Amino acid sequence: MEIENRIIFEDNHIIVVNKKSGELSQGDKTNDVTLPDLIKSYLKIKYNKPGNVYLRVVHRLDRPTSGLLVFAKTSKALSRLNHQFKLRTTKKVYWAIVEKLFPEEEGTLIHWMTRDKKKNRSKAHNKEVLNSKKAILHFKCIQYFNKYTLCELNYKVIKLTD
């Protein structure tokens, strides 16, 4: 199976898979096949499972985003991983290739984010607007190319009180 080549780590409790851009981390209204669907099929065949395969998404990546996703293969693993994410003891690192050469090697960007649920899109604003959440993004330039920059990103979104 094609998914087998994208497994980065697997043990009895978790499986870490490289998600391609365009794949769904979980089901949505499109009813397109999801990465968990593919992994469940793979596990069912690999381990010759007669019944349903237990697999839960621990965190998500947006459809256009590629990267590593952690899935729990047991309810105990899911509970423990959810607890770690809740306490923020896990560290998420994002890398992005941007079409810009940054003048400074490190910096912070602050925007206010709004979400259009009908279009399933988010928009960044330069100032606070109604129903926005403050987003703080720290970037560090790792490598420069012709007109692109590879950046490491860390961010947090803060819900502002009304």
Positions marked active-site: 62
Residue type for position 41: S
Contact 84, 90 (CB under 8 A): yes
What residues contact residue 130 under an 8 Å CB cut-off, 6+ apart? 114
Nearest-angstrom CA–CA distance, 87 and 44? 32
Which two three-digit tokens encode residue 127? 């100032």
Neighbours of 151 (CB within 10 A): 22
Q: Report the half-sphere exposure of 7 (CA within 13 A, side-chain side).
A: 17
